[in-house]
């Protein structure tokens, strides 16, 4: 089973990408996990190390795909810590 | 059957997105089409009208998702016509 991790921050652009792209993935081949970075701030470092620069982003086999643009990771950090 | 159209221009970023994201889609639910805009310049207008601004881009149920950034549509046009 391959792993698909979807990083988002609950924004409208994120929700649209989750509903369309994430739900279009083949669940027979991909174990899908959705991580809300604004609610799980401890996952922000992990996302950053994986190469995530903005949300929404999809990590497939350790390769990052930024899907449209909702917010930068810096903005997510600011919203969480500020 | 839903329709998934992947617009690309053969660039490295496009190829990576095609191999990972497009191949991760559920082929039981999505009829997947891949359109090489530099080789099918007549499809550029169609992509533009669908809202595509850069490649690679994935059209799912008429919603455009720009995946990372390979080239702008203007650059693709310039490469084709120049």
Q: List pLDDT tens digits, range A7-27.
A: 999 999 999 999 999 999 999
Burial of A47 per CB tally in 10 Å (0-12, 13-18, 19+): buried
Give B-chain residues touching A26 at CB under 8 angstroms.
24-28
Nearest CA in chain B to A27: B26
CB contact under 8 A, B28 and A27: no
Whole-number mean pLDDT of chain A? 94
Q: Tell me what ipTM this predicted complex has.
A: 0.90
Percent with pLDDT over 90 in chain B: 89
- Interface size between A and B, measured as CB pairs under 8 A: 52
Give the number of residues written for chain A.
82
The confidence score (pLDDT) of residue B79 equals: 77
pTM: predicted TM-score of the whole model, two decimal places:
0.92
pLDDT tens track for B28-48: 999 999 999 999 999 999 999
Give A-chain residues touching B20 at CB under 8 angstroms.
60-61, 63, 65
* Nearest chain A Cα distance for residue B17, angstroms: 7
Q: Is the pLDDT of residue B25 over 80?
A: yes
Q: Is the pLDDT of residue A82 over 70?
A: no
> How many Å apart are CA A58 and CA A52, to the nearest integer?
9
Q: Is the pLDDT of residue B80 over 70?
A: no
């Amino acid at each position: 089973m391959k792993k698909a991790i979807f990083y988002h921050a609950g924004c409208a652009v994120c929700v649209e990408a989750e509903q369309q792209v994430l739900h279009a993935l083949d669940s027979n081949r991909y174990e899908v996990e959705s991580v809300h970075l604004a609610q799980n701030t401890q996952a922000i470092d992990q996302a950053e190390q994986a190469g995530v620069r903005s949300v929404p982003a999809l990590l497939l086999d350790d390769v990052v795909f930024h899907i449209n643009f909702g917010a930068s990771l810096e903005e997510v950090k600011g919203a969480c810590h500020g």
